[in-house]
Each structure stands twice: as C-alpha cells, then as structure tokens.
Chains A and B, each alone.
Chain A
Amino acid sequence: MSGSNVWSRTREKLRLFPELFAQCAEEGAVYGKCVTATTTGRQELKKDLCAKEFEALKSCFTNAPIRD
C-alpha cells in the first residue's frame, strides 16, 4: 500500500498516543484508581462504573496539544 490511505492516517494518529497520554497523567491516575478499587473492594466491575473519570481522561486526551 502506497500513498495516504486510512491505515497510514490511523497509524499517524496513533503514533501520538503515548505523548498525549503522558500529558494526562493525573486524569489517568484517577481513572486507574477507580477501576483498580474494584479489584480489592466488594463492588464488582460493571460497564461504565467509572464513566465520569473516563470522560475527564478522554477530554483531556483529545484536547491535549500536539507538541512537535
């Protein structure tokens, strides 16, 4: 496959993943703690249990500036 196609464009976007993720360390930690709390506590992990924390993480991630 040569030229610009959906795979190369997706790959380019995903290449930035670690950089953007590093900028949202706090939100990531909050979400991570919410999920891992279920492994020790009595509450079972269900869908969207930590939806609020994830929305915060996702909005930080999508709005993070691309420094290059």
Chain B
Amino acid sequence: MGSKVFHTLLSAAARCPQALFGCCYSGLRASSWSSGSRRLMSNGDSSMNVFDRRMKRRQRDWSAKQQDSHLYDYLRDEVGTRLADRVYDVARTFPLALDVGSGKSHIAPHLSKEVVERFYLADISEPVLRRKKEGEIPTHCVVADEEFLPFGENTFDLVVSSLSIHWINNLPEAFKQIHQVLKPDGVFIGAMLGGDTLYELRCSLQLAETEREGGFSPHVSPYTSVSDLGHLLRQAGFNMLTVDVDDVVVHYPGMFEVMTDLQGMAESNCLWNRRALLHRDTMLAAAAVYKDMYSNEDGSVPATFEILYMIGWKPHESQSQPAKRGTATASFGDLSKLNRPTTNQKDKS
C-alpha cells in the first residue's frame, strides 16, 4: 500500500505529558503487552477488560474543551475522507446510518444526501458531540458507549466507525452488536488503528525506560492484527469481508510533539496497567533514542499510524453464495491446453 506522508511541523503546545499517563500506579514490571499484539480471546470472555473506559471518556471530554482542539483533527479528518470514499464506492443509498465512536463527526460532512439520508452519531463523550461538524446530512447525537449500543435489532442500513474501536475492551461482543443493529444486507465499514501503529514511540520508550529505570511498562495500546480482524468479523457473522491496511506516516519535530498531539487527539494511554508518571529523565532519554533510531535527514521524526479498513456485510439471500460442489463447467486440466491451437477449438478468422 502506498503511504501518504504529511509534513506537519506543529509548534509545541503547552501540554503536560503527565496527564497522558493516568492515575493508576501499577509498579514497574515488564509487561506482556509490550509485544504489541492483542490476544484473540474466545467468545463470552468477560474478563477482557484492558482499557479504562471512564478515563477514555474524560480524555475525550478534556480534548474537546480545548480552544485549539481543531488543530489535532488532521488524522481523524484524513481517515474520515478515506472512509467516505469507501461508502461512495458502494453504489447504494442508505436511508439510515450510524457512526460508532463518531467524535466530532469526521465522516458525515464528506457524504451527500444521495448516499445517506439520516445519520446517527454515537460517542461516549458529550462535549465532543456538542462540537460536531455540520454537513449536508441531518444528524442526531446519542451519548452511548460503543460496547453497549442502545439501538434495536435490524435498524440501520449502514454502520461506520472511524478510529475509535481500537479502544473497545470486548471487540468480539462489539462486532456482534454492530451486526445486530444492522438490517440484513446492511454493511459495516470501519477503520481502526492496528498492527504497527506508533511502534517508534513504543520502542523508544521501552529502551529508555529499561536503561534509566531497569524495567518498562506499557505506554502504547496493544493493537489488533489484520488476520485477527478477519477472524473477529467472521465470528460476528459478517459476510463478504474486505480488510486492507494503509500506513499514514506523520512527521513531527520530536518525540515531545508526538506525545502532545496524541494527547490533543484524545488518543492518550488508558490501559488499566499504565503507570502514573513518566519521569522527566526517561522522557529525555526516550526523545534522544527516538531521534537516533528513527529521525529523517532534516531532523524530524516519523510516527506511523497503521490503519486497518474493514468492510463486512450482514448476510441476505440476495448476496452471492459460494457455488455448490459439482457445478463446475471447466477443469483446471484445461488450462494447459489454452495456448496450443487444436482442431477442436472454434476458430474465428
């Protein structure tokens, strides 16, 4: 996949990184999450509680109330336009659509009334919804947790979700709920951060924390990989899946600006087992390591956001089914005879 590169040199806004790392002290220990992969748990595993959702809501509330919150929307806007493109690719009109974890609504402003007639926006944070961007389509806001959608079965023709489901604790259950609120032959088009997102930040912090403090704790969330995502969607009952990956690399002056922007985007750490503090020494050390390991020629450093796009359909009789066994009309053995001219072939001359 081609990677789109932004050159964004933002001036360092005054943000305290201490706010990045919450209020649950968990002590120093090498965490199993540091490998960065999210384990695929079996159905009905209610002990899947990785993220502090209340903290996430507070982070979103805070970021929405900042004066310059629009400065941090660039990533969400970009992913929103790409998701809107995918919605346009589906040659249908959707009477009713839902945006799960909508934030300030980054998808609806890019769509027209011919594609979607009515839009519902659901997010856990009320201040964020109050600052939603207006577009052509009439929108209704619902304050709801992505894991507990308050909608009836077979309600929506289209469900979209942009850059919010990577904070969901029980992802299999959330996909099942999305599947439920969809009408048959409805489609779910989503985007989430996955795989190698922010690996530069994760590695720098890990090395610096080990050298300075003798151990490390998780600072970057565990992300879902592409293969796991396919399994999850299929388990939830979606059909005709399409999953693809896109890398967005954003360049910053340094590690501090990366963290500042992540905080401004409300993408700060909210793992339960996060540490309360990041020592200034460790931050200084990590910035030096980040610069040494990953910097570009002009001194700026990249931060990778790996975005997984997914499209899944709720089953319906009109959808194409796999052909039955024994209905083949040609054999693979015929392939070798294609190039050789034979008297049996019909000659159009």
By a beta-carbon cutoff of 8 Å, the part of chain A in contact with chain B is 7, 10-12, 14-15, 17-19, 21-22, 27-29, 31-33, 35-36, 38-39, 45-50, 54, 57-58, 61
Contacts and interface: CB of A to CB of B under 8 A. Distances in A.
Contacts of A21: 254, 256, 284, 287
A4 to B, nearest CB: 14
Given A36-B289, A54-B285, A45 B256 contact: no
Contacts of A14: 14-17, 280
Contact of A7 (B16, B212, B292): B16
Nearest to B254: A18
Contacts of B208: 35
A57 B16 CA distance: 22
A36 B211 contact: no
Contacts of B291: 28-29, 32
A14 to B, nearest CB: 6
Contact of B284 (A29, A38, A46, A61): A61
Interface residues of B, number: 29
B210 interface: yes
Contact of A47 (B16, B211, B289): B211
Interface of B: 12, 14-18, 207-208, 210-214, 253-254, 256-257, 280-281, 283-285, 287-293
21 contacts: A12-B14, A14-B15, A15-B14, A17-B12, A17-B287, A18-B256, A21-B254, A28-B291, A31-B289, A32-B288, A35-B208, A35-B285, A35-B292, A36-B207, A38-B207, A45-B207, A48-B212, A54-B281, A57-B284, A58-B281, A58-B284
A18 B211 CA distance: 21
Contacts of A29: 288, 291-292
Contacts of B211: 35, 45-50, 54
A11 B14 contact: yes
Q: State the majority secondary structure of interface residues on B.
A: helix
Residue of B211, B253, B285 with highest tally of chain A CB at under 10 A: B211
Nearest to A11: B16
A68 to B, nearest CB: 13
B342 to A, nearest CB: 60
Given A18-B256, A57-B285, 13 more contacts: A7-B16, A14-B280, A15-B14, A18-B253, A35-B211, A36-B289, A36-B292, A36-B293, A38-B207, A45-B210, A50-B211, A58-B281, A61-B284
A35 B209 CA distance: 11
Contacts of A57: 284-285, 288
A38 B291 CA distance: 16
Contacts of A31: 285, 288-289, 292
Nearest to B203: A39
Nearest to B283: A17
Contacts of A12: 14
B284 A18 contact: no
Contacts of A10: 16, 18
A38 B287 CA distance: 17
A31 B282 CA distance: 12
A31 B257 CA distance: 20
A12 B30 CA distance: 32
A4 B134 CA distance: 37
A23 B214 CA distance: 27
